[in-house]
Amino acid sequence: MTALTAARAWLAQDPDPVTREELADLIDRAEAGDESASTDLDERFAGRLQFGTAGLRGALGAGPMRMNRVLVAQAAAGFARFLRDRAEGSVPSVVIGYDGRRNSDVFARDSAELFQGAGLRAILLPRMLPTPVLAFAVRHLGAAAGVMVTASHNPPDDNGYKVYLGGSDDGAQIVSPADAEIAAAIQEVADGGSVAELPRSDDYAIADEDVVAAYVARTADVSPAPDTAAGMRWTYTAMHGVGWETMRAVLERAGYPLPDVVAEQIEPDGRFPTVAFPNPEEPGAMDLSFETAARSGAELVIANDPDADRVAVAVPTDTGWRPLTGNDIGLLLGARAARAAEGVAGAALACSLVSSPGLGVIAERHGLDWHETLTGFKWISRAPGMVFGFEEALGYLVNPETVRDKDGISAAVAVLGLAAEARGRGRTIADLLDELANEIGHFASGQVSIRVDDLSIIDRTMASLRADPPTSFGDLAVERADDLLEPADGETGGNILRYLLAGGSRVIFRPSGTEPKLKAYLDTRGATAEEARDRLADLEEAVRARLG
């Protein structure tokens, strides 16, 4: 089937006037001989967005390689088939949430209608809410599954479709083989005809506000404010996302003073007008936060990403604001969890294999187990005995009995608790990091990322590393190389290359699961902070040289 033929068939079933107009214009131009329009159609109809363990994520637009109402309808109908087969005769329920991105509410309502029309019990959250609230609702309501319409911290023109499973999966994100089974069911729907013929019903339920109230109460209990929190000045930004309403309710219940907010970024706005990428890790994304904090004399800055499943922290220095790394925050919160869990049989800390190995040192010091998993909370949340889990990309799971996924609101409350306790000793978050380094050693971590337009570049780079394995990075010899495409016994495989280097350093290469990036994760350890940082700088230079 040619792209033009496929585009005409897609157009005939598209219920969205915006994408219909977009696609009709491309068809008209391609038929008139416009080469750029023909190329665009070829790309949009070259395949379809693949449903994997991260669900769906991509740019908004017409065609199967974009996020749109046709693709979402196919996904919802396919997921409904999967759930019906899994339920073995019972009526499964599905909770649907959505954030403030463009079309998130539309995709969520379409999904609710299609789930209900397919014979499931669909429950739509009452308004745009953070991803952790949806993850909580799956368990709280005893649902068979949950869907969150979000692209998290992706660029403004993206959206996504994240899936959770209840029951024995305990409200965690999907993993293999469920992803492949769902993808196959979606393909059956896509091959079966027009989405206009799929049964729909608007008789779905709207979740009661008690669900949100229950999340707020459980999250406030993560770290109720001590007396030393009184008078604490801090700054918060929602990064144009949906975090503030829920965050404020949690703060008020937990007893923390409300922050000075970044007014320009506090309300949901899917255009993300003040940032190029709505990701606290991106250069410049927190500049407005730092300006607000400097004016108010804040003791720290806390930022959520747009769907509030991640949290970033920055602290003042003599020369400006210092954003803490994801590993900095993870080690502080890991030490907090380890102290609380010490002596509990089977308790464990967990992190992705690209996160700081310092968490393993903390676990050992407190007599806890430690698990390194593949990247993503679909794996971290399944670690046996896990009382705390994190990934270096600003994701933290501090309350596994409440939310089985990363949660930027509960993690923010835990950080505020640490800051308040330190405050009572005349100390700061920065001081806590120094104290922890004196206990476990000085770790430094960094990342080299290559963003590409052509994903084949990533494949070629990984193939080159395999074909011509590095024997050293700068002056650091490779002591062991692991290709996780061929994992050792007990390990889960993935497209990951790990190099353990002399002196305790390491480099890990992996393609991003959510963005068109190749990432190299760097970790070093030294007797002093300066030594660890110097080793990291040398290692970063060597990795960049290898990647060209």
Kindly list the catalytic residues: 152
Handedness of CA 85, 91, 92, 94 (dihedral sign): positive
Tell me whether strands 311-317 and 517-526 are parallel, antiparallel or unpaired: unpaired
Preceding amide of 199 cis, omega within 30: no
Residue 250: what are its φ and ψ, rounded to 5°? Answer: -65, -45
Give the separation between CA 75 and CA 97, rounded to whole angstroms.
15
Residue 328: both structure tokens together: 């900095």
Residue 68: both structure tokens together: 């749109």
Residue 73: both structure tokens together: 């309808």
Residue 418: what are its φ and ψ, rounded to 5°? Answer: -60, -45
Tell me whether strands 517-526 and 442-451 are parallel, antiparallel or unpaired: antiparallel
Alpha helices (runs of H) in 234-325, residue ranges in sequence order = 243-254, 287-296
Name the DSSP letter for residue 282.
Answer: S
Alpha helices (runs of H) in 88-176, residue ranges in sequence order = 104-117, 131-140
Give the separation between CA 17 and CA 281, rounded to whole angstroms.
36
SS3 at position 449: strand
Give the separation between CA 41 and CA 32, rounded to whole angstroms.
13
Tell me whether strands 121-124 and 93-98 are parallel, antiparallel or unpaired: parallel
Reported residue count of the chain is 548
Give the separation between CA 445 and CA 434, rounded to whole angstroms.
15
Give the separation between CA 524 and CA 543, rounded to whole angstroms.
13
| Residue for token pair 């509410």 | 105
DSSP H or E segment with residue 4: helix 3-13
Preceding amide of 306 cis, omega within 30: no
Residue 467: both structure tokens together: 């074909």
Give the separation between CA 198 and CA 74, rounded to whole angstroms.
9
Residue 90: both structure tokens together: 């019972």
Handedness of CA 269, 271, 276, 279 (dihedral sign): positive
